[in-house]
Amino acid sequence: MDRLDNTVRPYAWGSTTAIPALLGTEPTGEPQAEMWMGAHPGAPSRTGRGTLAEVVDADPEKELGAASAAKFGPRLPFLLKLLAAGAPLSLQVHPDLAQARAGYEDEERRGVPLSAPHRNYKDANHKPELICALTEFDGLCGFRAPAETADLLDGLGVASLKPYADLLRAHPEDAALREVLTAILTADPEEMSRTVTETAAACDRLGGAYAPYAGIAHHYPGDPGVLAAMLLNHVRLQPGEALFLGAGIPHAYLDGLGVEIMANSDNVLRCGLTPKHVDVPELLRIVRFEAGDPGILRPEASPDGEEVYDTPIDEFRLSRYVLPEGSGVRDLTLPTPQILLCTAGTVRAGEHELAPGRSVFVPADETAEVSGSGTVFRATVRV
């Protein structure tokens, strides 16, 4: 197996302290948002044999296993991350596989450069993802029932919100959500900025259920995404709990540290809370206008101690082992590629000793024995 040397991405929304605290390093004062573990071309992990992308490219069937290479092609199909949000991420959705392929092919055909700020599709893959909390973790996930959102808006006493509340009550669920999101994103910018400012002041004054939106508005004053965020369920995960984000589900992470895994893609359509491009027509085509419970996931334990976060996705499978002192050696060998990430204690993986935040890549069929006292996350695929 290969010890991984991983890149930390300094996105502006990142916490300045969470990842350094996990790694046991001194904060630099700069945001440290995501640590990437995988073979994504944007920041592939480094090994003693070259980057993980180079290692996989040199012999895909050996590194990935015959079944994984046959099913997903000659690439590692998932990307594992440590994600540390110190401020809200952009409100966003991801396309399904058919939408991603069609969108990518269309932009390629029209000659839109991959680096263009208005480019929507950076690749032809979908981007389902799972976030598992390591600390208390706040986020937004999926639409709240329209009538409940109407009550929430009415409670603010902001006159310019009344038309949105009325729309939410007057139409069937999908039509109501579509109309209100469209109205928010296409409103006159000056009028919307005034409404958001007044809404933010009311949220700040009332607190309680409004507090998360006051916090969002503090980071993005006047942004229409503040009102779009109020259409969504606010979720607070406790350590060990997780959220699965499928195609078309609007979401945003607000605060906290977690382990994130996703299909190996960079396709994002933004709804707000960002200075980046918002393609409203394409966004409205991708969003699933369905209200529902966000569905907090808790791991399902198997007899050998593996705790699995069950999702309907084949490109990744995330689980964890909590190893008590003196529990002996666990054999985690699989016919599929794995990344093992320690998040607590000290875990020995083969010849490598892993402190929190350290990880290894295990090629398919390579012996993977772990021991020690701590927590290790296992990322692999379903074949």
How crowded is residue 138: how many other Cβ atoms within 10 Å of its Cβ?
18
CA 259 to chain centre: 9
270 is catalytic: yes
* Cα–Cα distance, 359 to 340 (Å, whole number): 5
Paired residues of 369 in beta bridges:
331
| DSSP state, residue 137 | E
The type of residue at 285 is R
Structure tokens at 58: 């040199």
Give the type of residue at 278: V
H or E element, residue 373: strand 369-380
Query: For residues 220 and 274, what is the distance between their CA atoms, to the nearest angstrom?
Result: 8
Closest CA to 359 of 381, 345, 343, 371: 343
Which H helix or E strand runs over 173?
Answer: helix 173-186
Task: Count CB atoms within 10 A of the CB of residue 73.
Answer: 10
- Single out the catalytic residue among 144, 270, 320, 378: 270
Distances in Å between the Cα of 2 and the Cα atoms of 51, 55, 67, 72, 368 are: 11, 10, 21, 22, 11
Which two structure tokens, joined as six digits, stand for 117? 């700020």
Tokens matching residue 236: 């607070």
Q: In a 3-state reduction of DSSP, which class is residue 52? A: helix
Determine the Cα–Cα distance for residues 89 and 75; give it in Å rounded to an integer: 28
Could you tell me if residue 313 is left (phi over 0), alpha (psi between -120 and 50 degrees) or otherwise beta?
A: beta
State the catalytic residues: 270
